[in-house]
Amino acid sequence: MATDRVASLDDPQLRAFAPLVYVAWSDFDLDADERTHVLSTIAAQPWLTPQARAVIAAWTDAAAPPSADELARLRSLIERVSTTSSSRARAWQTRIASGIARDPATEAVAQGLARDLGMASPDAPPVEPSPASADATLVDALAEALDGAHVEERTRVRQFLATPRRAYDLPVPEQRAEVRSWLHELAATGLGALAFPGVTSTSDLAAFTAVFEELGHGDLSLLVKVGVQLGLYGGAIWALGSERHRTRLAAVAACEELGCFAMSEAGHGSNVAALETVLRYDAATREIEVHTPGESARKEWIGGAAHDARWAVVFGQLEVAGEQHGVHAVLVPIRTPEGGPLPGVRTGDSGHKLGLNGVDNGRLWFEHVRVPAANLLDRFASIDADGHYTSPIASPDRRFFTMLGTLIGGRISVGAGAVSAARTAIAIAIRYAHARRQFGPDGERRLIDYPTHQRRLLPHLAETVVNRIAFATLRARHSEAFSRVDPSEAMPDMRELEAEAAALKILGSRHAIAAVQEAREACGGQGYLSVNRIPELRADVDIFTTFEGDNVVLAQLVGKALLGAHRKQFAAGGTLAVVRAVGRRIATAVIEKNPIQSRRSDSSHLRDRGFQLAALRYREDHLVQTCAMRIKKRLDQGADGETAILAVQEHVVAIAEAFAERRTAEWFAAAEGTFPPAAREVLARLGDLCLLSRLERRAAWFLEADYFEAAKTRAIRKEVERLLAEVVPHAREVVEAFRIPDGCLAAPIAFFDPAHPLYGSSR
């Protein structure tokens, strides 16, 4: 025991704390409260792993003070580390010992110990100062612009996230238990009630999506658990149920009733209309029988199904009196309150995953399970006392798309949460880059001073800012649209909002993958260490591109919606309706190009928001028009509609990407006038960097389309380089303005000190 406890401190992450542990237990003039303060402050460091916290906890046990042998071993450890460390590292150890102690008396003892043990010497060179403090005025102004509405709710989330919560290196059962406990802790704050405006809160729907976005800075397993419990399970009840169903939402918000969202099936992927699960109404008993007819109908990848969920919103084909009415949803209990399986319900565990192992994804099978007919979520369709099926929406196709349309908030939340994960990774990398030094003419220079490093990180920083503003606009549009909806009435046409939500989900999740990967590489080997959180983010965010809709499938939905004349045609007629719609559009000529504009390359022109937006609009419109022409050509050659659409599938996907880039750019430009004056210049430069980087990335396309000449693409590249140099002095203020709690950054390199023995030079 004694050897293990001392040896456990001989770890790069914990060695610097060894002097304070020694101070706490030696015969210095420390009382019990002071000792507790020192040790608890050590344990509060946000980057410590659960194992490291366990080591500190072992040393804080008042009932198990160290023996004389342990103290002797501990002193030997400190002396060995001190004598083998550089002068810079010894000075760093002195500083952390006195800085964490905080209490003047304790600090004096720690400094005395440092001198006694040779951690500092009179001839030691002074420690290089930490990077200059950020401009607080600019940080506050940037934060005001980026936070926008719902600052109070964001602040509450940040207070919750300030307590370090990481479970990445625990066994799966323990990781799931930790995440489950965090879910209940979050519920206790009352933030979950914001998910159901008009029922459990008076706030607008955007308040909850802002909360969800902020949670994206923390452990993403918790984010997904919140999404399943409140966004999917509770959201389905809120959006698809009637008033009698909504009465249970208070318990859902408080996590007293844990549920899951059972839509996806093993055999059909994104083709929800083809679900096989049977929901058969029995008029004799006024019950709905839920049945899984075969393995392809098993519910797959259902968050919460493996362990935690007691209820499920199950989607399947409703059959009443022998007549099929399409996909509907019904509430089904799947476990007892104690967690045991209910008769007829079988569950399974999806198994270990690439990431998000704090989420208990599972499978569900139903063997003729019966539930009351009242469990049918009947906002858009019901079964009356005489067993007759009725719906305020006559068209089955429109009813189906209306039901799915109520759930688009999930795509908004997932996209915004992905961008939050990107912000976290970029913030860690930029903070590290401001302190980590590398080759230079006079010794070493900071990583952030290298143009290549700026090129790696700053365009992603700019993209996160533009996307943050765009998602704020989308949340407001979503909330405003749903605020006009009467629960007793059919949903209005939300085709445009659905396309926007899908497009931004694609853009946000793909950006997150690219940004986190670049942050990983920019941090070198440190970015590969789990303790520095970036590998965890990289694994966890990967699934964001495929859940709440596979990005490629969503892109086709967006592209077809843009090609179609209106939602009614698209929903009712599918592919043939799209073909008919685009056939009417091919007569419209492609936007004419301005030869003078195509050659202009001066800085004022390139930074003109009008030019940037016009270029992005041109790309989108050109892609729509040329796609329509390609479809028409194949139809003229005798191809059927399905074949014609499949032949241009990649073209359709490109339309969706162009739409997302144009839409987010327009929303950012529209918001610029609302930014605090102190932040406008920096945000304008970030906007320029983001939009010109997009144009630079699409340079080949613009050259092929004759919209740019070669000289202009070269000028855009040089302008991006100039913008990097202008943005870099403010990069630290921008990441500080994200207001990410230290408990979320939770990486030693995010709190980097140039004299740290792990990361600094020991030459």
Positions marked catalytic: 548
Closest CA to 216 of 235, 231, 200: 231
DSSP helix/strand/coil, 506: helix
Closest CA to 169 of 428, 529, 543, 423: 529
Distance from C-alpha of 375 to C-alpha of 550, rounded to nearest angstrom: 30
Tokens representing 244?
């009698």
Contacts of 132 (CB under 8 A, 6+ apart): none
Distance from C-alpha of 173 to C-alpha of 218, rounded to nearest angstrom: 20
- Let me know: does 47 contact 746? Beta carbons within 8 Å: yes
Strands 311-320 and 278-282, how do they pair?
parallel
717 phi, psi to nearest 5 deg? -60, -45
Closest CA to 234 of 205, 213, 269: 205
CB-based burial, 297-324: b 16+ in 10 Å, e otherwise: bbbbbbbbbbbbbbbbbbbbbbbbeeee
Tokens representing 444?
């070493």
DSSP helix/strand/coil, 707: coil
Alpha helices in 133-285 (DSSP H): 136-147, 151-161, 172-188, 205-215, 220-226, 235-240, 243-246, 249-253
CB atoms within 10 A of CB 489: 10
The C-alpha R_g of the chain, in whole angstroms, comes to 29
Closest CA to 294 of 365, 368, 369: 365
CB atoms within 10 A of CB 42: 24
- Residues linked to residue 279 through DSSP beta bridges, in sequence order: 290, 318
CA 486 vs CA 194, 390, 523, 753: distances in Å = 19, 18, 51, 56
DSSP helix/strand/coil, 390: strand
Torsion of CA 414, 418, 423, 428, to 10 degrees: 130
The sign of the CA dihedral 135, 138, 144, 146 is negative
């030019």: which residue's tokens? 611
Distance from C-alpha of 579 to C-alpha of 569, rounded to nearest angstrom: 10
Cα 662-667-672 angle, rounded to 5 deg: 125
Tokens representing 492?
């209005």
């993209």: which residue's tokens? 463
The phi-psi region of residue 491 (left if phi > 0; otherwise alpha if psi is between -120 and 50; otherwise beta) is beta
Distance from C-alpha of 664 to C-alpha of 91, rounded to nearest angstrom: 48
- Let me know: does 39 contact 57? Beta carbons within 8 Å: no
